[in-house]
Amino acid sequence: MSRPVSAFVFPGRTDHVEPSLLICRNLVSLGWQIEYVCEERYEEQIRDAGAAFHDIEDLCTAHGLDLKRIHEDYEDPTATWSAQFGSIATERLIPVFKDFFKTLSPKVVVYCPILCGYAHFAATCLKIVDVSVLTRPGPGFLNAELAKNNETPAGLIEKIRANLPNAKAIEQVRRLLQKPNLSLNSSEPLVHENYTHLNLVTSLQSLADPLTEKDACVFFAQGKKFEFVGPLMKVDRKQSFCIDQDLAHDISQAMRNKKDIILVSLMHPTPSSELGEVLCRTICKACGPGSSLVADPLVIFSIASQLDFDDKEASWPENCRTTEVPSVELLKLAEPTLFITHGSQTDFMESLSVGSPLIICPSSPDHAEELLNASRVQHLGVGEKVIFTGDLVAYEAQLWWSLEQLLGTGTRRSFRLNAQLLAEEIRDSGGTDRASELIQDTAPRSKRATVQSRISR
């Protein structure tokens, strides 16, 4: 019997691709054939997950379409909204994906609703069932991100409406889909038409950015359901990944001796080298030998290879270690007492999944996701935030105070308890297995594989 086929369509962004690949790998193990469309730089990861890879540029070239030049067609170099909210790419990509889906005849299309709405429209034209995977904290995330940048949906919509080439593209899409009432971001809520009947959210409902009552009514009226499946993570949470033996031994010994482990992620550049140095120096001073805050902890700095830090052994306190192993892998292995990070969504959710409190130090005032997560850790009582406002002395003092809160004997317990409660909620949410089951449930009249059947084979 032939395997059921699913088409995956995701943008060339790690925070979208990596969670989807966990679902992809799971479905492949359950007997599915996955045809994955993305950018060429993700080809190796996609094939490693067991999927067939299709380069989106090749699909577009076959239709005489140059993706890299679409922004120019808005005739406005200030139209920074075009990639996420514009309709020119949607108009041109719908025929591309209609043809692609016709050749595959997939039972279900799985796509990113933020940047790949064209896949949803193409699937709808062909009456193919689809499921979106939203890697942001719920459909209210856009309003929250705009608010962080002192913008509003209404203000953005005004800019979108004022762009004549975009308005023409909207009319073309309406005619193409025979849906004259499509708003395509010319009215609120933004991108609501990119969602389908079943939308998987890789977060918890308790962490979701709230929807306005008006927006919630729109989604309800359209019959669009959001299933919060929690973060999508590898099943084996104790599996190490390229961790050298000395570091693995230090972590094991610290855990065995019940010492505090403090993990610091410096995987992204900070606004200045001075800021990075202040961050490292303050942590080393607060958590080094003889610290009054914490007794002889193991401090691990996960530092990206491209960052310019002096990692010579002599420059670090004796209880500090440096490594290029991604912090996500170290979180799984060490389950640290404290995780200090810039605050990406992946770091945020992975830390909560192991019950580790956080200090979030956003790498830039332009990173809305990091700023939002910094506010969330305070709201949830699982950590503190440290925001750089231009004053290095104030930044150091703020970081020191946060370390005192997270490591102090009188305050650390409440942070840890709150983080552990969220870890339990994450475990109960189902994650990758539940996401895979929900996708299979949508497939019309197909024989569904299950996690149990996979184990029994």
Q: What's the CA gap between 62 and 332, in Å, rounded? A: 43
- How far, in Å, CA of 436 to CA of 439, rounded? 5
With contact defined as beta carbons under 8 Å apart, do 339 and 263 qualify?
Answer: yes
**What's the pLDDT tens digit per position in 327-375?**
888 998 999 999 999 998 888 988 999 999 999 999 887 787 899 899 9
Please, what CATH class does the domain formed by 245-426 belong to?
alpha beta
Average pLDDT for 92-96? 97
Which tens digit of pLDDT belongs to each residue from 232-288? Answer: 876 444 444 568 889 999 999 999 999 999 999 976 555 556 788 888 889 999 998
Predicted local distance difference test score (pLDDT) of residue 240: 44
Contact 29, 4 (CB under 8 A): no
How confident is the model over 153-196, as pLDDT tens digits?
A: 999 999 999 999 999 999 999 999 999 999 999 999 999 999 99
Sheet holding 33-38: strands in order across? 52-55, 33-38, 5-9, 108-111, 129-134, 198-201, 225-228
Residue-wise pLDDT for 107-118, tens only, equals: 999 999 999 999
pTM of this prediction? 0.80
Same fold, 5-230+430-456 and 245-426: yes
Q: What is the pairing mode between strands 358-360 and 338-341?
A: parallel
Helix axes 327-334, 245-256, angle to 10 degrees: 40
Q: Strand 108-111 vs strand 129-134: parallel, antiparallel, or unpaired?
A: parallel
Q: Which CATH superfamily is domain 5-230+430-456 in?
A: Glycogen Phosphorylase B; (3.40.50.2000)
SS3 109: strand
Instruction: Sketch the domain layout of the chain as residue ranges.
Output: 5-230+430-456, 245-426
> Are the C-beta atoms of 113 and 178 separated by less than 8 Å?
no
pLDDT of residue 268: 57
Residue with more model confidence, 149 or 140:
140
**Most trustworthy range by pLDDT among 142-146, 191-195, 302-306:** 191-195
Q: What's the chain's length in residues?
A: 457
b/e per residue 194-229 (b: at least 16 CB within 10 A): bbbebbbbbbbeebbbebeeebeebbeeeebebbbb
Query: Is the alpha carbon torsion for 334, 337, 338, 343 positive or negative?
Result: positive
Q: Which residues are 198's β-sheet partners?
A: 225
